[in-house]
């Protein structure tokens, strides 16, 4: 009982702090990290996925998810086109929560939004579960918004936003994972400051990794780490092959090292997770494997890219060379992270144009897939 009492006190204090933040900032620049933490604390066991939370709490939580300062006075009347939306197959992770928040924020500037779980005009769905196949969504325009390394099926999706390099007329838009990350100061200047600081105070520790997932693709990472360990020990701070004990914060842990392992859970052109960004934010030199086309927006001189098993020995020799040369280490650290410092802004603009194109059309014209009488079996979910 005492533990429960303390937990309830903590909840009330946390809510009170959030109210003060909202009052102080008048809903301006609200930190979505607070929202995400609140989701994790209060809704982990209540809601199965983030779709349930957003759809069921939309009216009461509207000020949190939409920055009303972006709305013009003339847009606040009832002349905006009404659209019925629903979100399904999402999980309550900070990334996916942020993506839904951004969709609602963008569309609310131009349309009057209603969340309709039974007969939505437009259905956004992710890769988790199969609820988008329910018969009640047969007449909905389906927009696959994939946050994982999956290819959208255009026999089902009228439109798709994914990380894949797909050109499909007006139906597909590529949104790299790192573009969608919730970093307010996610720009070249931030990384430049971090790396300038690091170049003045070089790290003494060699290399670290934070790996939690243990499946087939981790064999490549483990094989690389084993070979690198023959030169110097790699400190493992995650659940997978941990050799130093539990760590409190990934970036705080990595900031003590020259290098960090930033290898994806799966390989695929276009798929880049937060791993390499965390490495950059910690001021390390990332050792990366995953998307071979990553240098489309990240400067290849600022990190080490491993192109398959045949490239491991070559890159380990290069890592040794950097480790032994203070000049070479500082040269890499001082490199700009991005190839185009405005790439995030440009892609965000294209994303808005893509969504606007979908919702500005007449619904009948926006439909791209024939209506099928899909028979949905809930066993597909398991």
- Beta strand 159-162 with 141-145 is parallel
Looking at residue 84, its pLDDT comes to 92
Residues 296, 272 contacting (CB under 8 angstroms): no
In DSSP notation, 46-83 reads T-SSHHHHHHHHHHHHHHHHS-GGGS-GGGGSTTSEEE
CA atoms within 13 A on the CB side of 369: 22
Looking at residue 5, its pLDDT comes to 54
CA gap 89, 126 in Å, rounded: 5
pLDDT in tens, the chain (382 residues): 555 555 556 555 655 665 565 444 443 333 333 333 333 333 333 333 444 444 444 333 333 333 334 444 444 455 788 999 999 988 777 677 777 888 888 898 889 998 899 899 999 999 888 889 888 998 999 999 987 778 888 999 999 998 888 888 889 998 877 665 645 445 666 777 777 777 777 788 999 999 887 665 567 888 899 999 999 999 998 887 888 888 888 888 998 899 999 988 777 777 788 888 889 888 899 999 888 888 888 899 999 999 888 899 999 999 999 999 999 999 999 888 888 777 777 888 888 899 999 999 988 889 998 765 455 444 444 4
CA gap 163, 233 in Å, rounded: 34
The H-or-E segment that residue 124 falls in is strand 122-125
Kindly report the backbone phi and psi dihedral angles of residue 209, in degrees, each rounded to the nearest multiple of 5, phi listed first: -145, 145
CA gap 315, 306 in Å, rounded: 7
Q: Which of 306, 267, 309, 260 is nearest to 286 (CA)?
A: 260
Q: What is the pTM of this model?
A: 0.67
For 254, other C-beta atoms within 10 Å of its C-beta total 28
List 353's β-bridge partners, or say none: none
- Helical spans, DSSP H, in the chain: 2-25, 32-43, 50-65, 94-108, 177-180, 188-200, 218-229, 250-254, 275-281, 312-324, 326-333, 343-360, 363-366
CA 313 to chain centre: 31
For the chain, how far is it from start to end, CA to CA, in angstroms? 36
CA gap 195, 19 in Å, rounded: 36
Contact residues for 59 (Cβ-Cβ < 8 A; gap 6+): none
Looking at residue 51, its pLDDT comes to 43
Looking at residue 313, its pLDDT comes to 93
CA gap 272, 126 in Å, rounded: 17
List 266's β-bridge partners, or say none: none
């Amino acid at each position: 009982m005492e533990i429960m009492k303390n937990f309830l006190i903590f909840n009330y204090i946390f809510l009170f702090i959030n109210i003060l933040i909202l009052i102080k900032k008048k809903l301006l620049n609200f930190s979505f990290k607070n929202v995400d933490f609140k989701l994790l604390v209060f809704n982990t066991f209540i809601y199965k996925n983030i779709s349930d939370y957003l759809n069921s709490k939309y009216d009461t939580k509207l000020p949190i998810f939409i920055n009303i300062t972006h709305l013009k006075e003339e847009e606040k009347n009832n002349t905006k086109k009404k659209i019925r939306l629903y979100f399904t197959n999402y999980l309550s992770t900070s990334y996916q929560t942020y993506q839904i928040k951004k969709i609602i924020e963008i569309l609310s500037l131009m349309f009057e939004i209603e969340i309709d779980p039974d007969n939505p005009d437009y259905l956004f769905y992710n890769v988790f579960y199969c609820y988008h196949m329910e018969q009640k969504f047969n007449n909905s325009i389906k927009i696959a918004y994939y946050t994982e390394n999956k290819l959208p099926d255009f026999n089902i999706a009228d439109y798709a936003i994914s990380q894949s390099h797909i050109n499909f007329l007006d139906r597909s838009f590529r949104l790299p994972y790192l573009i969608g990350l919730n970093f307010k100061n996610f720009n070249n200047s931030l990384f430049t400051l971090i790396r300038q600081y690091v170049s003045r105070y070089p790290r003494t520790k060699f290399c670290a990794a934070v790996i939690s997932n243990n499946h087939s693709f981790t064999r490549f990472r483990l094989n690389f780490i084993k070979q690198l360990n023959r030169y110097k020990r790699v400190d493992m701070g995650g659940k997978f092959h941990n050799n130093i004990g539990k760590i409190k914060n990934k970036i705080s842990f990595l900031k003590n090292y020259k290098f960090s392992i930033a290898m994806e859970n799966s390989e695929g052109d276009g798929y880049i997770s937060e791993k390499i960004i965390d490495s950059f934010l910690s001021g390390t030199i990332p050792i990366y494997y995953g998307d071979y086309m990553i240098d489309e927006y990240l400067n290849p001189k600022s990190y080490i890219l491993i192109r398959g098993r045949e490239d491991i020995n070559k890159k380990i020799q290069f890592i040794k060379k950097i480790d032994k040369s203070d000049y070479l280490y500082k040269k890499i650290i001082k490199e700009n992270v991005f190839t185009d410092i405005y790439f995030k802004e440009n892609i965000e603009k294209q994303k808005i144009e893509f969504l606007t194109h979908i919702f500005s059309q007449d619904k009948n014209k926006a439909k791209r897939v024939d209506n099928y009488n899909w028979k949905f079996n809930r066993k597909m979910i398991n």
